Structure 1
């Protein structure tokens, strides 16, 4: 039963879970739970990188420290690094070696999303992290899609796949990948993405212009990681060179008034992940994060987790923490839910149904 909520009250996870929503910036590579890792390591006879109790506290061997989720805080700029974090993702994805294991990871993702009140997800998959599947990327996508199919049949969160290129790949390789994707149209593929450390790779918009042009001409959606570890330039490149419909992160756009105006005028949404930005050192603390300023400026902002398992969080927890830290009320959170639906690459019918359900639930919560 839904209970009325005063806007002066703290917004808790139960109320947030009640809101039908989408998550549009979450990496499958960042959703492996502890039980997933232990099971996969045991099945494959692979030793853990350390004691099971501290597997996500990997600062001693990978340059990353998990945050304290209970306080809603992060480990800060000095304790975490994006490069080391990406190495950890390589290690854990390397544990997935069979179609059955890949399908199980996909099913578990949908179940966890459902538990957080997520009804649809655009999940980012970057096959370069899954080293057992090199040369068999299409088989990986098929195995993941089978897991998502089973989850949907069981009434869990619906999922679309955003295939992500890595910034260090060549233009030739990227164009070959996208040509294959647009020709074969793997089941559940909805978008092309590109991710990786902007600071290390530098500006890569020109390099990937051809690949994203192929995707656009074939009617494949485009979403681009930009404006995270580098400044606003990457966001401009994503818009002008890669025909991005959505920006993953994009928080550094706050540093450029002309860019803010462009985002607002073109109704380009930002898939913002505050906890990730703080934990990986983009901002030193939650108070420094610009999400409130972006929303107040009129930018279309969605609230996401990025890599929830190693960050020690879930979407409902991060929504509650963000509401508390930045003073968002129930109406604001309903707005986040609606924007998540609008920004997603879900089909028109599902967007319509989720919007109608959100209106009903919101009326009961007020």
Structure 2
């Protein structure tokens, strides 16, 4: 588990609403697949939002966060441009300011470039010129090729970039995923790779998105998508340990109902909330993730767990009731909003050292079992 990271592509549909041909109204879920009986001929013209999603989709249904005033956005953009042009200085001498600005949210027009710089993906690309094209020509196992192709239509079908079967967006996603398998054949393909790569492609051209994906999976989430997902399971154990401090009653109920953390947090962490939260919230979380690492995934999870039963008379006892509460689609919309999530995340009675402490304890126990 990587617990810390101290380290101009135009946004899709950034200004006015546009229309795209896509499928009928999506289901109430980020991961909704296109219904099998709906063909391209049955599709209707739909209006999309500023992020490229269908207006009626879940991605913006809960997106009630107030837009940043234009003058404030311009000031922030100017500050970020100054930082990017003097990046090494800001990261070495003024990192606290960089972190503060990431928590406020990176300007949309600079988000992709900022993610590259925060993750050092731009240096990876510079040091490995032409390698992306080489990876595209290398053969991968036919089983993995089939798995990637089968996932294309399931990945953000409600986004204009990926809605068309065999369209340019799906082609780029296929090539980025295929190149990553060629780059890291030992890890192989994991279904969670697709949504992560898709979010990057919404903000970056193909090659930049590829190297950003490499940086994420190599430096921020090493070994997270390989084997039997042991690293994710470890983080689930740590999450429950921290939950005991944040919401002891819910922790007790989960334990009594024999509900393990992997029953609700795997998709949150592996997809970095991209399938589970309103899109403005997802982007704010990713901004912080690229700056501070996986710590923000824990903090957001704890906020969701702390407030997921607040609207109920009491914390449920039955397993099915508890599991229903833990689905973000059943949570009060207000707690899914970006400003609420981020503010609450840093009000939790949890310090970064608490996270480090639990991680070290778990690693120590794991090493003892292997002896």
> What is the TM-score normalised by the length of structure 2?
0.26
> What is the TM-score normalised by the length of structure 1?
0.26
Higher CA-based Rg: 2
Q: Which has the higher strand share?
A: 1
